[in-house]
């Protein structure tokens, strides 16, 4: 059953959680998840389950964008529809590998923070700034790290999965970057909408993750992927600078 309402979460910062069937235990905060330490034998398999659910969250965010902004331009709606298909494929890939390695769906608690933060934002430009341009751009850095680690461990299945995912995620970040840049040129109010979305999302993210969920969790910026995804040299430089700072700052 869901434990998504938590006395430590401010309900004004979050949308209702997405539906999950009875197999799932839904956690509200990172500390309620199965956070196995480095080197623990279950750490790798739990990651596959967690990531499977996060891909579903990405699918649900993109689908909610189609539902909530029917008046948006056709090209961005087409990109969002393609994103739904990609995220569904990613969830299926993670599920397949998870089950192949002995896991069963619902084995570990899941966290729907991504959907609950993104679906709470009122503007499409704000949602894309958070989901695609922040969460998924950060995901590019994590995937690059995952590819390297899988290569070192000789885990070809996982390396191939990450390579395929990386190609799709670059396209999600890129269409969002292009659309956000056009939106802010056409309508200066978009800048304010992005600012308020960023402020609310970072507050909500801190509540979900706590200091425990973010300390030491930082990957070097994947500058090649970020450039391919439409970030400028200055933005890539800033990402590298931020991520090379000690955690917690
Ligand atoms: Fe994905
Ligand atoms: Fe994505």
Rounded CA gap, 208 and 17, in Å?
Answer: 13
Cα dihedral 125, 127, 128, 131 in deg (nearest 10):
160
DSSP secondary structure code for residue 220 in this structure: -
Q: What confidence score (pLDDT) does residue 236 get?
A: 78
Predicted confidence at residue 1, as pLDDT, reads 40
Cα of 7 vs centre of ligand 1, distance in Å, is 30
193 alpha carbon to ligand 2 midpoint, in Å? 22
- Ligand 1 center–CA 169 separation, angstroms: 6
The separation between CA 119 and the C-alpha centre of its own chain, rounded to angstroms, equals 13
Ligand number nearest CA of 128 is 2
DSSP-derived 3-state class of residue 2: strand
Give the Cβ contact number of residue 8 at 10 Å: 10
pLDDT band at 214 (very low <50, low <70, confident <90, very high): confident
DSSP 135: I
CA of 115 to the centre of ligand 2 (A): 13
- Model pLDDT for residues 107-154, shown as the tens digit of each residue: 999 999 999 999 999 999 999 999 999 999 999 999 999 999 999 999
pLDDT band at 209 (very low <50, low <70, confident <90, very high): very high
Cα-to-centroid distance, 7 and ligand 2 (Å): 30
pLDDT tens per residue across span 5-26 = 566 799 999 999 999 999 999 9
Q: What pLDDT, on a 0 to 100 scale, did the predictor assign at position 4?
A: 57
Buried residues in 193-202 as b, exposed as e (16+ CB within 10 A) = bbeebbebbe
Distance 54 CA to ligand 1 centre (A): 8
Q: Cα-flanking dihedrals φ and ψ of residue 229, to 5°?
A: -85, 5
The CA distance from 5 to 126, in Å, is 24
Q: Could you give the CA distance from residue 109 to residue 202 in angstroms, rounded to a whole number?
A: 23
Can you tell me the distance from the alpha carbon of 87 to that of 59, in angstroms, rounded to the nearest whole number?
5
The predicted model gives 44-64 an average pLDDT of: 98
HEC string of 85-126 equals HHHHHHHHHHHHHHHHCCCCCCCCCEECHHHHHHCCCCCHHH
Chain CA centroid to CA 212, Å: 18
């Amino acid at each position: 059953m869901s434990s998504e309402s938590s006395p430590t979460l401010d309900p004004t910062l979050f949308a209702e959680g997405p539906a999950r069937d009875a197999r799932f235990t839904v956690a509200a905060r990172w500390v309620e998840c199965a956070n196995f330490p480095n080197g623990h034998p279950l750490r790798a398999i739990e990651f596959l389950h967690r990531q499977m659910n996060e891909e579903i969250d990405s699918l649900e965010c993109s689908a909610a964008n189609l539902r909530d902004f029917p008046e948006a331009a056709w090209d961005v709606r087409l990109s969002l529809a393609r994103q739904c298909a990609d995220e569904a494929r990613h969830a299926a890939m993670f599920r397949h590998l998870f089950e192949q390695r002995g896991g069963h769906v619902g084995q570990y608690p899941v966290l729907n923070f991504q959907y609950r933060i993104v679906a709470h934002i009122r503007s499409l430009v704000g949602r894309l700034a958070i989901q695609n341009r922040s969460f998924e751009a950060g995901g590019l850095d994590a995937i690059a790290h995952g590819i390297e680690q899988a290569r070192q461990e000789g885990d070809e299945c996982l390396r191939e999965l990450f390579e395929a995912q990386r190609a799709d995620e670059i396209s999600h970040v890129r269409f969002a970057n292009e659309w956000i840049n056009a939106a802010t040129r056409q309508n200066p109010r978009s800048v304010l909408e992005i600012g308020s979305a960023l402020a609310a999302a970072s507050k909500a993210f801190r509540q979900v993750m706590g200091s425990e969920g973010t300390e030491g969790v930082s990957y070097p910026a994947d500058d090649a992927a970020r450039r391919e995804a439409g970030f400028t040299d200055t933005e890539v430089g800033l990402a590298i600078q931020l991520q090379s700072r000690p955690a917690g700052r």
